[in-house]
Structure 1
Amino acid sequence: MRWLLCSASLRVMLVSSICSLSPFALVGRAEDQPQWGRPHSRNMVSDETGLPSDFDPETGHHIKWSAPLGTHGYGSPTIASGKVLIGANNAEPRDPRHVGDRSVLLCLDEQDGSMDWQLVVPRIEGGDIFKDWPNISMSSPPTIEGDRVYTMTNRFEVVCLDLHGQSNGNDGPYLDEGKHMVSLDSDTGPMDVTSIDADIIWMFDLLAEVGSYPHDGSHCSVLIDGENLYVNTCNGVDNTHKVIRSPEAPSLVVLDKSTGRLVAQDVERIGPQIFHSTWSSPAMGEINGQRLAFFAGGDGILYGFKALDPRGGPSAPVALERPWRFDCDPEAPKQDIHSFLRNRKVSPSNVKSMPVLDGERLYVTYGGDIWWGKNEAWLVCVDATGQGEVTHSARLWTYPLEKHVCSTPSVYKGMVFVADCGGKLHCINAETGEAYWTEDIGREVWGSTLVADGKVYVGTRAGDFWIFAADKVKQPIAHIQFDSPIHTSPVAANGVLYVATLKRLYAIEQK
């Protein structure tokens, strides 16, 4: 038997009973999951109920459908209006016209997993694999609002797509989809645009427009706030891992969601202090009557930027105002930081997860870079109500994690659930920072936990998938083995649990 269950009484006990009218709400059905994490707060918690406590990918037990992703799936899905969007590669071409290594965004039918359309993007020319790593999927989880999709391609283009693809015609102003599907160094002409191709509405090229020099592939979850899009530029080191090619480039930009026009950017000069790359996507909330966008830079510092008017930004780009700043690791080296490369004992810290806002508290994981930095990692709880430089006044507690950390925490009913690269799952008191329990789940976790239906779901890079009770007392429910490693976060929408491995996306439903 490939799955392990606890008693029926425990399963019954675990069954537990978002859209709001605030300016933070995304358009869409309450049961959809149109963005990675909860809208704005980024909390990895879902209100879905009736989710399965057991399933088996091999026998098909409780598997609604599965869809192939190729060989290197690193992106988590988003679901809205009957569509499932997720990154893939071109290892198994869905259109024979596309030959070779391509990054792909799939739009699948929510009911049966069949493909509606795909966005196929060639790799960046020139062979700089540290910008656009070979064979990996399109890794930025899309954000959906109404009939529009906002995401970042492997070429670091922020794009607005029609959720319906080409089925309702090729909408402008962008009309060069046929050219966009062809590599720039190819001597062939534009492809014909077909019914299974994506419809690009507008495009903003971060490399050309703001001069960013990204590293290790795109990894941005676009945050929508009214008419504005908040976007991580992924600025980082070059192939030497010691040089920031674009030290003056912004790390956070704001775009107009209707046109793609640049509205604002940070002027914090984060670039020179980026140890590896800018991994984190922003969160947002209202603190003391002021709306702030919280963003973790590649320098390990958490910034609070004053949010722009959600009704629309100024006509010319402006600098983001920063009334709040918290250094997650103030004791870490601040000078000549790349001399600490490969130092597993002393190095700068960075943040690979997203900050989570729960009330007036921020929960952030940080620590030494998983590939190049120190082994230490932590979860910190920060008071978000202060003003100015709050590094030495806002820290409420710090919890040590085991080795490195990539996961965004899930804050639920006074508990924080988080997994780390040491192969540990932690349940922590959200008020005090003391552990309720920990569990060794075998291998490192690159995705995040999901709390839904009174359960905690998490996958590992060994392909192990675990389900625990979302409770202060450790109660394992199930351990399921998948076909390949899991680098993504589980997602729940409309009564279905979605789990993406390197090779397939599984839609799992209690039948």
Structure 2
Amino acid sequence: MFKKEISTWAFLLFASLLGSATTVALSGCTPPPIPEANTSTALDDDPVDSNVTATNSNVTTAGGPSAAVDLPMALVPPKTMSTKAAVALVSTTSADTTETSAPEDVQSAGGDWPQWGGTRMRNNAPGVTGLPEEWNIGKFDRRSGEWDNSKAANIRWYANLGSQTYGNPVVSGGHVYVGTNNGAGHIKRYPSEVDLGCLLAFDEKNGEFLWQHSSEKLITGRVHDWPLQGICCAPLVEGNRLWFVTSRGEVRCLDTEGFYDGEDDGPVKDEAANVAEIMNAGPAAAAHAATLASLAEGKLSDAAKAKLAEAGEPLEGDAKVETVTADKVWKATGNFGGVDRTITMKQIGPKIMFIKSLGVDDKRDADVVWVFDMMGPTMGVSQHNMCACSVTSYGDLLFVNTSNGLDESHINLPAPDAPSFICMDKNTGEVIWTDSSPGRNILHGQWSSPAVAELGGVAQALFAGGDGILYSFAADRGKDGKPELLWKFDCNPKTTVWKLGGEGTRNNLIATPVAYDGRVYIAVGQDPEHGEGEGHLWCIDPTKRGDVSPTLAMKLEDGKRVPIEHRRVQAVEPEDGEVEVDNPNSAVVWHYSMFDSNGDDEIDFEEEMHRSIGTCAIKDDVLYVADFSGLVHCLDAKGTKDGKPIVHFTYDMLAQSWGSALITDGRVFIGDEDGDVAIFEFGPEHNEPMDEINMGSSVYSTPVAANKTIFVSTKDKLFAIGETD
């Protein structure tokens, strides 16, 4: 059954133009020298100023001190080594670019799908077979959440996610990982009303919850960490290690086994974790006073015991309470939640914080290996609303888009010199090189994810910059902390104009570049809140060097054409005598913005490429991409010999699409905001869906397939779809 009406656009992912009530000014500057680490944590015995949050400004993670956090609980930074210590571990060796499996082998095997797009080439077209022809999710009671599976078909399992989910599932080593918010409340110390960014791990066989990494909200608010958006990226998994970026602008490496392996992997060990708090305000004021009085007497109050029990740490028997710093810091040693451990209590401003050290008994929490804080003083990144990069690797090298962007005014760039793209050693967290090419020309935010491919015999790291330019860097260790720029390609015509709120014609790059058969593919788009608009889809030859944009910006001086330095709002202003000229070094293979498919000399809605945040998927030279207006575009990936696109068909899903296509097992799967997954038979001749299955709530992410199973994350649930007995 297909939809008859167009759905309303009712959801916001990125920044509101109204901005935040809190103004945060972060001055851009050259990163300072990396300081020596002080590895004390908030669990140490040093006094704590009652006017500050639980963040210890002396704590240095791999990227420097973490930003302070206030509500709903104050995050205590982990104990870890400094960046200088990390550098010492690897500075005498070159990065190993050996890979355990070639991308082509991962793509064709039909097994695990261990990162966004499956491999560093980012083409979501796995060789999975044996998938069901159809499925039915059954019904869920909207109040109780109870599942009526009497009519469900081919649903192996489902798992509850948060209330908003944008992260794409990743499948590796018997686990399924997905980013979301804390709406499911999987951990008792973080009930569902506490807003967090969450990376969840489930058992691939049965959907059992395994562990959760919890990122508490930044005190700076929505300018950096938009409410309820959660973790919007997909992790990278290799063996027993996982890498991802948090909503706090950190790059984190985790142990995929969590604490189930009986080990606390490091260098981050005994990571401090908030358990509960009692606020000296409102109805809790009496409990706060009683708790302070009891602590002064060497006891835990009934209110403190109740709070700990609510957080999954009930006290069994008695606890020994010691004063560390009078009226400020105490330690209670006893059996909490069935584990002999010490709980530290701190009077911080108007609240008493209860803090524990994570260890092998905390099975539902993630085991952190190392942390790098991109917003710390070492880099000074100021992310716009969120950090949403799905990282990728090439051997030992890890590539990350920092998400550096504008402030809430949508005009000022707080950190113009902060890096936009970085290369790290994935084993240690050492930053190998940084690049700030977009500079002051960042249009809004930077939310794309990098790709890496060997193109023309050269390993290239592809970075979609916030200025609308696609950059290619040599995927190696660079020199003196800087990468080698191979080429750059402006994905916007030079006369296009950037306007606040999406009214202009100049676009961002939010989609991920895809490498296929020696070519690179990418579409332009904007923050979904900016609405619909004109778009462009490019096929690029990555073997050229230098400025390989389609056209160049020029002006006349003394009768000669002189290049114009790139400008943020409009690269060429014709009214000032500036001109856009063809670039003799252009790398355009073909360009698609519109195509008169019916030959009536008019361009209809269905004959245009609109703004897109979707990534191309390609198989056997057939390309699929969905645009934000809800059109599915099917093209020939090669184009014509004279540089024209070959458009096989477009199909209107009658609902906006935020995600990308999945090509597998002879079919194409694309989700939409109405919660439908449209299923096409693969091939240019199949221009209408063979089926359309509703998933119960919006599908903002991209379906993935691995091990004879399709994984679809809706707004609030993760489904494993496969043949069932």
Assess same fold via TM > 0.5: yes
Structure 1: 5+ residue stretches without partners: 4-18
1:378-417 to 2 correspondences below 5 Å: 378-392=536-550, 393-400=586-593, 401-417=608-624
Contact 1:53/1:478 (<8 A) preserved: no
Question: Which amino acid in structure 1 is aligned with residue 260 of structure 2?
Answer: S
Q: Which moves more between the two structures, 52-61 or 324-333?
A: 324-333
Secondary structure in 2 aligned to 1:507? strand
Q: Does 1:499 align with 2:712?
A: yes
CA separation of 1:247/1:20 partners in 2, compared to 1, >3 Å: closer, same or farther? same
Tell me how far 1:2 sits from its aligned partner: 9.8
Deviations 1:475-510 (A, max 9, x none): 522111111111100010100000001110000002
Give the one of 185, 206, 211 matched to 1:112.
206
Give the one of 133, 138, 142 matched to 2:226.
133
Deviations 1:210-254 (A, max 9, x none): 111111222111111111100010111111111111111111101
CA separation of 1:40/1:332 partners in 2, compared to 1, >3 Å: closer, same or farther? farther
Give the one of 670, 686, 692 matched to 1:458.
670
Give the one of 248, 255, 264 matched to 1:155.
248
Tell me how far 1:29 sits from its aligned partner: 8.1
Give the one of 477, 485, 505 matched to 1:322.
485
Contact 1:491/1:497 (<8 A) preserved: yes
Larger Rg: 2
Give the one of 355, 359, 367 matched to 1:190.
355
CA separation of 1:286/1:498 partners in 2, compared to 1, >3 Å: closer, same or farther? same
Question: Which amino acid in structure 1 is aligned with residue 239 of structure 2?
Answer: G
Task: State the distance in 1 between where 2:426 and 2:208 align.
Answer: 29
1:88-107 to 2 correspondences below 5 Å: 88-99=180-191, 100-107=194-201
Task: State the distance in 2 between where 1:42 and 1:458 align.
Answer: 16
Q: Does 1:72 align with 2:230?
A: no
CA separation of 1:189/1:176 partners in 2, compared to 1, >3 Å: closer, same or farther? farther
Tell me how far 1:415 sits from its aligned partner: 1.1
Give the one of 362, 368, 378 matched to 1:200.
368
Match of 1:7 in 2: none
Question: Which amino acid in structure 1 is aligned with residue 195 of structure 2?
Answer: D
Deviations 1:450-489 (A, max 9, x none): 1011110010011111100110112522111111111100
CA separation of 1:469/1:27 partners in 2, compared to 1, >3 Å: closer, same or farther? closer
Match of 2:637 in 1: 430
CA separation of 1:180/1:325 partners in 2, compared to 1, >3 Å: closer, same or farther? farther
Q: Does 1:353 align with 2:511?
A: yes
Task: State the distance in 1 between where 2:500 and 2:270 align.
Answer: 42
Tell me how far 1:373 sits from its aligned partner: 7.9
Question: Which amino acid in structure 2 is aligned with residue 164 of structure 1?
Answer: E
Match of 2:303 in 1: none
Give the one of 613, 627, 630 matched to 1:420.
627
Task: State the distance in 2 between where 1:487 and 1:176 align.
Answer: 36
Tell me how far 1:95 sits from its aligned partner: 1.9
Question: Which amino acid in structure 1 is aligned with residue 704 of structure 2?
Answer: V
Secondary structure in 2 aligned to 1:50? coil
Tell me how far 1:92 sits from its aligned partner: 2.9
Deviations 1:164-205 (A, max 9, x none): 001222111112533378899874142352111100000000
Q: Does 1:283 align with 2:451?
A: yes
Contact 1:347/1:374 (<8 A) preserved: no
Contact 2:511/2:525 (<8 A) preserved: no
Match of 2:474 in 1: 306
Secondary structure in 2 aligned to 1:342? helix
Tell me how far 1:440 sits from its aligned partner: 1.0
Contact 2:383/2:404 (<8 A) preserved: yes
Structure 2: 5+ residue stretches without partners: 4-98, 139-150, 278-347, 551-585, 594-607, 640-644
Task: State the distance in 2 between where 1:295 and 1:485 align.
Answer: 29
Give the one of 213, 228, 234 matched to 2:397.
228
Secondary structure in 2 aligned to 1:371? helix
Task: State the distance in 2 between where 1:368 and 1:117 align.
Answer: 34
Give the one of 341, 345, 357 matched to 2:500.
341
Secondary structure in 1 aligned to 2:213? strand
Q: Say what the alpha-carbon RMSD is for the aligned residues.
A: 2.5
Match of 1:218 in 2: 387
Tell me how far 1:160 sits from its aligned partner: 0.3
Task: State the distance in 2 between where 1:31 and 1:343 align.
Answer: 40
CA separation of 1:118/1:374 partners in 2, compared to 1, >3 Å: closer, same or farther? closer
Contact 1:306/1:320 (<8 A) preserved: yes
Q: Which moves more between the two structures, 362-371 or 449-458?
A: 362-371
How does the TM-score come out when normalised to structure 2? 0.64
Deviations 1:87-121 (A, max 9, x none): 12222312221141112111100001011111112
Match of 2:286 in 1: none
Q: Does 1:121 align with 2:279?
A: no
Question: Which amino acid in structure 2 is aligned with residue 92 of structure 1?
Answer: A
Tell me how far 1:367 sits from its aligned partner: 3.8
Tell me how far 1:20 sits from its aligned partner: 7.5
Q: Does 1:366 align with 2:366?
A: no
CA separation of 1:175/1:182 partners in 2, compared to 1, >3 Å: closer, same or farther? farther
Contact 2:270/2:357 (<8 A) preserved: no
Task: State the distance in 2 between where 1:439 and 1:162 align.
Answer: 43
Give the one of 215, 239, 242 matched to 1:146.
239
Tell me how far 1:371 sits from its aligned partner: 3.3
CA separation of 1:367/1:502 partners in 2, compared to 1, >3 Å: closer, same or farther? closer
Deviations 1:37-72 (A, max 9, x none): 031211121111111221111232000000000210
Deviations 1:306-355 (A, max 9, x none): 1115xxx88xx611110211111132458xx5xx21352x3422111111
- How many residues in Structure 1 have an aligned counterpart in Structure 2? 484
Match of 2:460 in 1: 292
Tell me how far 1:437 sits from its aligned partner: 1.1
Question: Which amino acid in structure 1 is aligned with residue 122 of structure 2?
Answer: R
Contact 2:705/2:711 (<8 A) preserved: yes
Match of 1:509 in 2: 722
Task: State the distance in 2 between where 1:25 and 1:241 align.
Answer: 43
Contact 2:667/2:680 (<8 A) preserved: yes
CA separation of 1:158/1:236 partners in 2, compared to 1, >3 Å: closer, same or farther? same
Secondary structure in 1 aligned to 2:712? strand
Contact 1:348/1:373 (<8 A) preserved: no
Secondary structure in 2 aligned to 1:166? coil
CA separation of 1:252/1:373 partners in 2, compared to 1, >3 Å: closer, same or farther? farther
Secondary structure in 2 aligned to 1:377? coil
CA separation of 1:385/1:182 partners in 2, compared to 1, >3 Å: closer, same or farther? farther
Task: State the distance in 2 between where 1:129 and 1:360 align.
Answer: 40
Contact 2:532/2:629 (<8 A) preserved: no
Contact 2:525/2:613 (<8 A) preserved: no
Task: State the distance in 1 between where 2:515 and 2:268 align.
Answer: 36
Deviations 1:260-282 (A, max 9, x none): 011111142x1311111111111
Contact 2:264/2:270 (<8 A) preserved: no
Contact 1:415/1:472 (<8 A) preserved: yes
Percent of aligned pairs sharing the same letter: 35
